[in-house]
Amino acid sequence: MLAIARQRILGQSFQKIRPAVSVLRSYSSAAKQITVREALNSALDEEMSADPKVFLMGEEVGEYQGAYKITKGLLEKYGPERVLDTPITEAGFTGIGVGAAYYGLKPVVEFMTFNFSMQAIDHIINSAAKSNYMSAGQISVPIVFRGPNGAAAGVGAQHSQCYASWYASCPGLKVLSPYNSEDARGLLKAAIRDPDPVVFLENELLYGESFPVSDEVLDSSFCIPIGKAKIEREGKDVTITAFSKMVGYALKAAEILEKDGIHAEVINLRSIRPLDRSTINASVRKTNRLVTVEEGFPQHGVGAEICASVVEESFAYLDAPVERIAGADVPMPYAANLERMAVPQIEDIVRAARRACYRSVPLAAAA
């Protein structure tokens, strides 16, 4: 507790530790708590009121108040011309959003989950991401595609895939993935203001979680720069990179490792494309060990790219092989126990970190 207090006083607002919510609530009454849902809603609200060219479209965003209530209250405030309930036509309405963006409007297209974006992926990649290039700069596409990504709870194989690595491999796109409320607000605002197509990957299970935010975050001009990762927790023994929900897991794993005397540095990527290789490599050069954590499928995943980047740029600094933690290489099963096994858990991260620090039997079989 005292350690936390000391670090807060040291004052860098980026140095936020994420202990259990209850602890912080009792500590600070000045810091406001908002849920990720509220953060996203307020970001959309403020951007829509600031710029009349911003409009929302998606299934159930209007009268239903949003499938996950992210767009609650916006229909009443801005009217049906700016908050459009679309028919179930992902390919069609995504293309309409892209066409509107060609002419300078700023659509925020919601996919009920990013799994449904596969019906529209042609428009996201071919007519949004590549257009500025194909037209040699004549047509830019200031559009945001947002929605929940990755596994929820018991929703089965077709509703649980993580699309971070698919979109992040495409030039012309920016791919963001917030973790807490501050990330959600700052990154969504940055995404809406950005002149390029942005894929904004949220997480359904995080919508209801509360995080403390400072007054700076609540200001309507608050933006987080795209392309910069954040060091959520400083350490010196092993670097753990993560994004979205896995940041929370990584932080909890870091606390467990702390008891073993392993001080883990947790990096919240925030931006999958462009990846903040500079922060990651600087951290690895400090700690000499790397564990990447992600929820998606392991092959060609975000972790694969980070590991390759670190091997290319900081090979001489590595004291142990890079470790990748990812979801299981299977479509997401439905049964609760199988689902638990298919997604990384805190124990997996702890085990991998220990392996990287040679504090356990060397890896014989996968987790």
263 has catalytic annotation: no
- From the list 37-45, 65-73, 125-133, 330-338, the region that binds another protein by CB under 8 A is 125-133
Tokens (6 digits) for 33: 């708590």
Please tell me whether residue 92 binds another protein under the rule CB under 8 A. Answer: yes
| Helix, strand, coil percentages for the chain (3-state, nearest 5) | 40, 15, 40
327: Cβ contacts below 8 Å, ≥ 6 apart: 151, 162, 294, 295, 296, 297, 298, 342, 343, 344
Cβ at position 89, least distance to another protein in Å: 4
Beta carbon of residue 17, minimum distance to another protein (angstroms, whole number) = 24
Binding string, residues 275-304; x marks residues near another protein by CB under 8 A = xxxxx-xx----------------------
H-type alpha helices, the chain: 2-9, 21-27, 36-50, 74-78, 90-102, 121-122, 131-134, 164-168, 181-193, 215-218, 245-259, 277-287, 302-314, 336-342, 346-356
Residues 6+ apart with CB under 8 A from 366: none
Query: Per DSSP, what are the bridge partners of residue 238?
Result: 264
Q: Which of 134, 157, 330, 335 binds another protein (CB under 8 A)?
A: 134
Asked if 137 is part of the footprint of another protein (rule: CB under 8 A), the reply reads yes
Cβ distance 226 to 187 under 8 Å? yes
Nearer to another protein, 160 or 268 (CB): 268
Residue in 90, 295, 305, 339 annotated catalytic:
90
**Stretch of 62-70, 171-179, 215-223, 340-348 lying at the interface with another protein (CB under 8 A):** 171-179
Among 105, 155, 256, 311, binds another protein (CB under 8 A): 105
Reduced to 3 states (helix: H, G, I; strand: E, B; else coil), residue 213 is strand
Decide if residue 102 touches another protein (CB under 8 A): yes
| Known active-site residue 300 | no
Catalytic residue among 159, 265, 294, 295: 159
CB neighbours of residue 300 within 10 Å: 12
In the complex, the residues that contact another protein under the rule CB under 8 A are 52-53, 55, 81-82, 86-87, 89, 91-105, 122-123, 126-127, 131-142, 171-172, 174, 194-196, 225-228, 271, 273-279, 281-282, 313
- Residues marked as catalytic: 90, 159
